[in-house]
A and B are shown apart, each in its own frame.
Chain A
Amino acid sequence: MVKAEAVHKSFGRLEVLRGIDLEVKPKEVMCIIGPSGSGKSTFLRCINHLEKIDAGRLWVDGELVGYRQRGDRLYELPDREVCRKRSEIGMVFQRFNLFPHMTALENVIEAPLHVKRESRASVDALARKLLERVGLADKIDAYPNQLSGGQQQRVAIARALAMQPKLMLFDEPTSALDPELVGEVLDVMRGLAEDGMTMIVVTHEMGFAREVGDSLVFMDGGVIVESGKPRDMLAGPQHERTRLFLSKVL
Chain B
Amino acid sequence: MRHTWRWVGAGIVLVIVGGVAYTVATAPYLHWDVVWQFLFNQLVLQGVVLTLELTVVAMVIGIVLGVILAVMRLSPNPVMSSLSWVYIWFFRGTPLLVQIFFWFNIAIVLPYVGIPGIPHWSISTNILIPAVVAAILGLGLNEAAYMAEIVRAGIISIEHGQTEAAQALGMTRLQVMQRIILPQAMRVIIPPTGNETISMLKTTSLAFVASVEELFTRAHEIASSNFRVVELLFVASIWYLCMTSILTIGQYYLERYFARGAARELPATPWQRFRRLLFTYRLAPP
Contact = CB atoms under 8 A, between A and B. Distances in A.
Interface stretch (B31-39, B64-72, B157-165): B157-165
Interface residues on A, range: 20 to 34
Given A110-B179, A145-B261, A115 B171 contact: yes
B260 interface: yes
B161 A144 contact: no
Interface in B231-270: 258, 260-262, 264
Interface residues on B, range: 20 to 34
B169 A100 contact: no
Nearest to B265: A146
A199 to B, nearest CB: 15
B167 A145 contact: no
Interface in B163-179: 164-173, 175, 179
B170 A84 contact: yes
Contacts of B161: 93, 95, 97
Interface centre among A80, A89, A115 (most CB of B within 10 A): A115
A154 to B, nearest CB: 15
Contacts of A93: 161, 164-165, 168
A16 B141 CA distance: 46
B159 to A, nearest CB: 8
A166 interface: no
A111 B170 contact: yes
B168 A101 contact: no
B169 to A, nearest CB: 4
Contact of B173 (A79, A143, A145, A163): A79
B111 interface: no
A50 B167 contact: yes
Given A99-B180, A101-B184, A86 B168 contact: yes
Interface string A65-92: 0000000000000011001111111110
B183 interface: yes
A52 B55 CA distance: 46
A48 B169 CA distance: 10
Contact of A50 (B164, B171, B183): B164
A170 to B, nearest CB: 12
B164 A97 contact: yes
A86 B169 contact: yes
A97 B159 CA distance: 9
Interface string A125-166: 000000000000000000111100000000010011001000
Contacts of B171: 83, 111, 114-115
B260 A145 contact: no
A25 B26 CA distance: 90
A86 to B, nearest CB: 5
A143 B263 CA distance: 10
A90 B170 CA distance: 9
A156 to B, nearest CB: 8
Contact of B172 (A83, A97, A145, A146): A83
A83 B173 CA distance: 9
A120 B264 CA distance: 27
B261 A101 contact: yes
A102 interface: yes
A86 B167 CA distance: 7
B262 A79 contact: no
Contacts of B173: 79
Interface in B124-181: 161-162, 164-173, 175, 179-180
Given A86-B170, A163-B170, 19 more contacts: A48-B168, A80-B172, A83-B167, A86-B168, A86-B169, A87-B170, A90-B168, A93-B164, A97-B165, A99-B162, A99-B165, A99-B166, A101-B183, A103-B261, A111-B169, A111-B170, A156-B165, A159-B169, A160-B168
Interface of B: 161-162, 164-173, 175, 179-180, 183-184, 258, 260-262, 264
| CB-CB nearest 4 A-B residue pairs | A87-B170, A97-B165, A111-B169, A91-B168
22 contacts: A48-B168, A50-B164, A79-B173, A80-B172, A83-B171, A86-B167, A87-B169, A89-B168, A91-B168, A93-B161, A97-B162, A99-B184, A100-B261, A101-B184, A101-B258, A115-B171, A144-B261, A145-B261, A156-B165, A159-B169, A163-B169, A163-B170
